Structure 1
Amino acid sequence: MNTTRRAFVAVSAAVLASIAMPAFAQVASTLDRIKQDKQLRIGVTSAEPWFFKDPMTEKWTGVGVAMGEKLAANLGATLVPVETTWANAVAALQANQIDLMFVLDPTEERRKAIDFPEAPLFYYAMGALVSGDSQAKSWEDIDKAGTRIGVTLGTSLDKNITAMVKNAEINRFSNNDEAIAAFASKRVDVVVQFHPALVVQYSRLKLGKVILPTLVNPVPTSAGLRKEANPAFRDWVSEQFASFYKQGVPDQIFGAYLKSKNIDPTGIPGLVKEAWK
């Protein structure tokens, strides 16, 4: 009787294992799903130069969109923009609403919730919008008594400038546009933001020039994706990013976007740090 019971238990366990194990092994990765559905879903939000929605056509463009189109093409898929916000992007990834969110910095806090490819997407730096005749080359040149610096309140840039500046006056604004408006009305002499955003602001303002004051500290940005047991999608995206960066694709895309806004990219710092001067 005991032998029969033991045999029954053993057979039952074997049957369950034969059912469960293949099911686990066959769990499709995001890469498999994209190849099957022929759709790559990326998060998009209003934030030039990364994402821009034309109010007339409702078509999305921008650096992040162009990068997504390249990835989709390499997968034989169609790019599908899904509107979200920076604050909701991580939750959207976790809920499988999107596959990627471009220009998401891989902070330690975010790494606890989502995954990131090993290779960076590109780099940006803390830049400064200064007057057209300014001779400033370094942060020391900017940190002079009588110089008024505009920065957005509560940002990492606010924290950095507060720690760096000893002599100049810091003026804090509730958002980037207010800081730029203060520059236009000559209430501040310098505006500090990450340099690609400054370039777009400059395109609207047509005043001053954008510089990367030394010492330049490159900040890598990336794209967030879901945590998965199968790393196939993460590894594929990382390989793509590394290849794009080596070929200078981020600069090519950024330059093309600037031209679409009637900005000559000549002399404007791009997204490949090795080309910065």
Structure 2
Amino acid sequence: MRTSYGRLVRAVLLAFAVIGLPGAPACADGEAKLLAPSGILRVGIYPGSPTSMVSDAAGKPHGLAYDLGGELAKRLGVHVDYVRFQRVADIVTAIHDRQVDFTVTNATPARANDVSFSQPVLAIELGYLVPANSPVGRVEDIDKPGIKIGVTKGSTSERTLPARFKNATIVPAESVKVAIAMFGRGEIDLYATNKPTLFEMSDQMPGARVLDGNWGLEHMAIAIPKGREDALPLLNSFVTDEQSSGALDTIQQQAGLRGAAKATRE
């Protein structure tokens, strides 16, 4: 009897030890129900930016939101569903409305009113893109009458830049793809957003270049719906693991993400 009882105790202790191991599915069961209540992690992405989703030469998708969403789904033991939008502002709205469970975006105070954020994933520079043969050669050349600065509709750039420029005109674009076409029609003279997106745009515009310097930093973080804050410790642990293991570096390389800096906690 004592031997059987001892074996039973050891089996129970072993079971608890396994449950407590980092990354064990049972450990994240409660968070999985919070973060993906449908049993599927719905990841909001928009094409054209390495911070969200781009495709490589073989057509395989990569990106900060795309790959981190897939990795988190694996950790939670749930399936992933990528939900496409035209721009990031639409994703933030969808998260607020609980139509999407996850994305990675700039953690601004304005967006924090609508969604909850993890600790910073990484920081990226904000900059300007000019087309080939542009008369704008440096930042000091921008704020002049007649200069048209393109920004993504609903973006941080659209909210921030009007106060910075008194003479140039801010022109919203529906998406990055639309902005590239606007350059061709002469509707904008430069484009302002994060540098990873600008470098991606410049690859599609021969002779285009990203101006030196930056006008600020975006602090990219995981965004989830309000009311799911109990899962933030797991999300923060996930972010730390991705940073320290080198997985985040691999994601950046695969997505061709340029203009990034290490995240710092405020």
Does the 8 Å contact 2:152/2:172 carry over to 1?
yes
Report what 2:53 is aligned to: 51
Does residue 191 (structure 1) correspond to residue 191 (structure 2)? The answer is: yes
Does the 8 Å contact 1:245/1:272 carry over to 2?
no
Does residue 88 (structure 1) correspond to residue 105 (structure 2)? The answer is: no
Deviation, structure 1 residue 128: 0.8
Deviation, structure 1 residue 204: 2.6
Deviation, structure 1 residue 251: 4.6
Q: Look up the SS of the partner of 1:213 in the other structure.
A: coil
Q: Look up the SS of the partner of 2:260 in the other structure.
A: coil
Describe the superposition over 1:47-88 as per-residue Cα deviations: whole angstroms up to 9, x where unpaired. Answer: 33313589xx9x864321211233344x27354124265122
Report what 2:171 is aligned to: 172
- Normalising by structure 2, report the TM-score: 0.63
Report what 1:240 is aligned to: 238
Q: Look up the SS of the partner of 1:236 in the other structure.
A: helix
Change (3 A) 1:229 1:257: closer
Does the 8 Å contact 1:52/1:60 carry over to 2?
yes
The alignment covers a number of residue pairs equal to: 225
Does the 8 Å contact 1:40/1:79 carry over to 2?
yes
Change (3 A) 1:253 1:181: same
Describe the superposition over 1:113-133 as per-residue Cα deviations: whole angstroms up to 9, x where unpaired. Answer: 64322x112223322112457
**One-letter amino acid of the structure 1 residue matched with residue 222 of structure 2:** A
Describe the superposition over 1:212-250 as per-residue Cα deviations: whole angstroms up to 9, x where unpaired. Answer: 634x4112122223556883x311211221343456644
Task: Provide the C-alpha distance between the structure 2 equivalents of 1:33 and 1:106, rounded to a whole number of angstroms.
Answer: 21
**One-letter amino acid of the structure 2 residue matched with residue 29 of structure 1:** G
Which one has the bigger strand percentage?
A: 2
Task: Provide the C-alpha distance between the structure 1 equivalents of 2:158 and 2:228, rounded to a whole number of angstroms.
Answer: 38
Change (3 A) 1:62 1:147: same
Q: Considering only aligned residues, what root-mean-square deviation do their CA atoms show, in Å?
A: 4.1
Does the 8 Å contact 2:180/2:201 carry over to 1?
yes
Does the 8 Å contact 1:143/1:166 carry over to 2?
yes
Greater Rg over alpha carbons, structure:
1
Q: Look up the SS of the partner of 2:182 in the other structure.
A: helix
Task: Provide the C-alpha distance between the structure 1 equivalents of 2:164 and 2:218, rounded to a whole number of angstroms.
Answer: 17
Task: Provide the C-alpha distance between the structure 1 equivalents of 2:131 and 2:55, rounded to a whole number of angstroms.
Answer: 30
Higher relative contact order (CA 8 A, sep 6+): 2
Does the 8 Å contact 1:151/1:192 carry over to 2?
yes
Q: State the percentage of identical aligned residues.
A: 19
Q: Look up the SS of the partner of 1:172 in the other structure.
A: strand
Matches of residues 78-157 of structure 1 in structure 2 within 5 Å? 79-83=79-83, 85=85, 86=91, 87-92=93-98, 100-108=101-109, 111=112, 114-117=115-118, 119-131=119-131, 139-144=139-144, 147-152=147-152, 155-157=155-157
Does the 8 Å contact 2:35/2:228 carry over to 1?
no
Does the 8 Å contact 2:32/2:78 carry over to 1?
no
Report what 2:12 is aligned to: none
Report what 1:12 is aligned to: none
**One-letter amino acid of the structure 1 residue matched with residue 221 of structure 2:** S
**One-letter amino acid of the structure 1 residue matched with residue 232 of structure 2:** R
Structure 1 stretch 134-143 or stretch 183-192: which is displaced more?
134-143
- Normalising by structure 1, report the TM-score: 0.61
Task: Provide the C-alpha distance between the structure 2 equivalents of 1:166 and 1:46, rounded to a whole number of angstroms.
Answer: 31
Task: Provide the C-alpha distance between the structure 1 equivalents of 2:67 and 2:220, rounded to a whole number of angstroms.
Answer: 16
Structure 2 unaligned regions, length at least 5:
1-28, 86-90
Change (3 A) 1:156 1:225: closer
Q: Look up the SS of the partner of 1:116 in the other structure.
A: strand
Change (3 A) 1:151 1:143: same
Task: Provide the C-alpha distance between the structure 1 equivalents of 2:248 and 2:228, rounded to a whole number of angstroms.
Answer: 29
